[in-house]
Amino acid sequence: MFALPNSWVWDFWLADDGEQYHLFFLFASKALKDPNARHFRAGIGHAVSSDLTNWTQVSDALVHGDRPAFDDLATWTGCVVRHPDGTWFMFYTGATLSESGSNLQRVGYATSPDLHTWTKNGTRAVAEADDRWYEQPDGGWHDWAFRDPWVLPDPDGDGWHMLVTARGNTGPVDDRGVVGHAWSPDLRTWEVRPPLSEVGQGFGQLEVMNDVEIDGERFLLFSCLGADTSDARRATGTPGGTWAARAQTPVGPYDIAGATLISPPGLYVGRLIQLRDTGEWKFLAFVNEDADGAFGGTIIDPLPVRLVDGQITVG
């Protein structure tokens, strides 16, 4: 388990440099007392491990910028990819507040030669919600969603794709969750494009997406709490957590409506990682609710993953 004595940790992402696994995670001081206050105080921490179980904390990666930067409130969830020239790119969510108090989320990036020292790409975002396709501030939610970037190379070698937690601008507010999309030729300049999925799939938001292929079966993983699903899905009594939707390619189409819940109770933001030595797949997540129903704020030890009848099974 990864835990900090004086801070909560929650959303996280991973990078593998060939020798160590790097864990980047959101953290906020427990001096806040109320774990719900952590979101507006989040920074990005960093730890390393050789086995995904025993972690050593190292210097923090990023903190929020100064006004009027796009990340002047907090730095939120992201991902790490490596450019062909060897440079590591961390794409992350920058949060700020609008004049009306809405939480505005946009995507920026920082670069590093070694995964330890990070330099932000200025104070402006490189991608944000375009009102031609995406919900805008005061659209019915408390936030303006364009966050949790997941960046991957195009399957046919045509640049890079960014999958983003976003909401469409039509339909019931609780059923607008879509796979937001942007494209780049070089990781540095980005063009926001229409979403890769449709509204009306049963989710108010698809958080922290990541794609994975296991034994020839491809899935899009995302997280959504039970309270953030649509009225129809809530009526079934299905709890929230991490979901797996079948995918034809890394950039869709996806069977979002047919997604299945794969995470054990109380866990959130599940990610799959394949061990470089054995090829085994492991599941990591943070503890959103402990046995007493309180916020956990720790990251679990890896759980085994297997395919059963073509479905991801954890534990």
Q: 159-198: buried (b, 16+ CB within 10 Å) or exposed (e) per residue?
A: ebbbbbbbbbbebeebbbbbbbbbbbeebeebebbebbbb
* Residue 238: per-residue pLDDT: 83
* Residue 128: per-residue pLDDT: 97
CA angle 178, 28, 42 (to 5 degrees): 40
Nearest to 129 by CA among 70, 205, 194, 74: 194
In whole angstroms, give the CA distance from residue 306 to residue 296.
26
In whole angstroms, give the CA distance from residue 209 to residue 22.
19
Pairing of the two strands 160-167 and 74-82: unpaired
In whole angstroms, give the CA distance from residue 28 to residue 45.
10
Domains and CATH numbers, the chain: 7-314 (2.115.10.20)
Pairing of the two strands 281-287 and 241-246: unpaired
pLDDT tens track, the chain, 315 positions = 999 999 999 999 999 999 999 999 999 999 999 999 999 999 999 999 999 999 999 999 999 999 999 999 999 999 999 999 999 999 999 999 987 778 999 999 999 999 999 999 999 999 999 999 999 887 678 889 999 999 999 999 999 999 999 999 999 999 999 999 999 999 999 999 999 999 999 999 999 999 999 999 999 999 999 999 999 999 988 889 999 999 999 999 999 999 999 999 999 999 999 999 999 999 999 999 999 999 999 999 999 999 999 999 999
In whole angstroms, give the CA distance from residue 49 to residue 52.
6
* Residue 99: per-residue pLDDT: 75
Any bridge partners for residue 150, and if so which? Answer: 163
In whole angstroms, give the CA distance from residue 262 to residue 259.
9
* Residue 140: per-residue pLDDT: 76
How would you classify residue 61: left for phi > 0, otherwise alpha for psi between -120 and 50, otherwise beta?
A: alpha
